[in-house]
A = this chain, B = another copy of it.
Amino acid sequence: MLKELQEKYGYIFEKELIEEINQVGTFKEVTEGMLLMDIGQYIRSMPLLISGAIKILREDEEGDELLLYYLEPGDTCAMTLTCCMGSAKSEIRAIAETDTQLIMVPVQKMEEWTGKYRNWRNFVFESYHTRLMEMLETIDSIAFMNMDQRLLKYLKEKTRIGKEDMINATHQQIAYDLHTSRVVVSRLLKSLEKKGMIELHRNSIKIIALEV
């Protein structure tokens, strides 16, 4: 674990902090699709991403979902950071988008470290900042963009995260993430295919050219 820690976080954290994380943290590997955290669940530790990606979802009372953003290596979950104050229950759901390696740090350490390590403090602030910015982007998408543009953005993002020009997902799964219906996704995907931007297959979408 120390090796991965140094590789991904060595340049942001001071030596002693890396040491401490190495001592109290536990290494964890999760496979694609695994549920890492659900709404209403108690938060006991915070994740530091080493590799892979985690998608963060919001859900309403009726069970309708919406993708908020992805966590990537070097990220942590800002939601977790707030567990020390107020409610300790999660407001979001976290699912492994790809196979993912992460280090879990008990939340008790967090407050201690924010006083002790300047770099940790900055890391936490920066996490909050990126998360706020990503929430803003999500708001921009759903408030100002039409479904076809949102779908396009979703495909781009997913290709970036997946690191290949093939997206493995059914139309229904995409519909859940965008909080729309399967029929609408099929319709819009078909029109993208007609424009030559993608190629549709069963359970997968081949990306040809998404830009312009």
Which A residues fall within an 8 A CB radius of B? 58, 60, 62, 64, 66, 68, 78-79, 81-82, 84-86, 91-92, 114-115, 118, 121-122, 124-126, 128-129, 131-133, 135-136, 138-140, 142-144, 179
Contacts and interface: CB of A to CB of B under 8 A. Distances in A.
Contacts of A132: 78-79, 82, 128, 131-132, 135
Nearest to A84: B125
Task: Determine how many copies of this chain the complex contains.
Answer: 2
A85 to B, nearest CB: 5
A142 B140 contact: no
Nearest to A136: B91
A168 to B, nearest CB: 25
Contact of A129 (B66, B85, B179): B85
Contacts of A138: 139
B128 A139 contact: no
A208 B135 CA distance: 35
Contacts of A121: 114-115, 121
Given A60-B143, A78-B132, 15 more contacts: A58-B140, A58-B143, A60-B144, A79-B132, A81-B128, A81-B129, A85-B122, A85-B125, A86-B126, A91-B136, A115-B121, A128-B128, A131-B132, A135-B139, A143-B179
